[in-house]
Amino acid sequence: MPAKESKAATKVTRKKPDDAEQVSSFMDQLEHPLKAEIEAVRQIIKNAVPQISERVKWNAPSYYTTADLLTFNPRMVGKVHLVFHHIAIVQVKSALLEGDYKDRRMMYFTDMADVEAKRPELERILREYVLLVG
């Protein structure tokens, strides 16, 4: 009769995916009519400021430095919807930041041409925003 293996020896350990893997998996599974535009905005955010990190939070790609900064709202299907949710965003002045909330602003993209047209201003907003948040 063969020796019994211990439970510890037969247990398979699975490493939890890191933040980047989780976002990649989220994007792979995302079904959205503007998925290419979401991916393009995601790349702009990731490349605009080196201090910005991404993860899945609130069931969407979300971006942070020392604090949470912004999150996609993938439930809106007619536009790409970004929510800037750190109170520092109210200090950033831009015609592209919508809403008169006391602690957040919204930004929207309608198609790839709109993403490209707004790219320079989004990058500027992100640089200013990160400086304010610290």
Residue 64 belongs to some domain of the structure: yes
Q: Which of 87, 86, 80 is nearest to 109 (CA)?
A: 80
Residue 84 near residue 72, CB atoms below 8 Å:
no
Residue 68 belongs to some domain of the structure: yes
Residue 79 belongs to some domain of the structure: yes
Residue 7 belongs to some domain of the structure: no
pLDDT of 20 reads 81
Residue 117 belongs to some domain of the structure: yes
The sheet that has 68-72: what strands, in order across it? 53-57, 60-64, 68-72, 80-84, 105-109
Residue 2 belongs to some domain of the structure: no
Domains contained in the chain, number: 1
Residue 11 belongs to some domain of the structure: no
pLDDT of 10 reads 53
CATH of residue 34: 3.90.1150.200
Domain containing 52: what range? 18-133
Q: Profile the chain (134 residues) by mean pLDDT over runs of 10 residues.
A: 49 74 91 96 96 94 96 95 97 97 97 98 98 92
Residue 103 belongs to some domain of the structure: yes
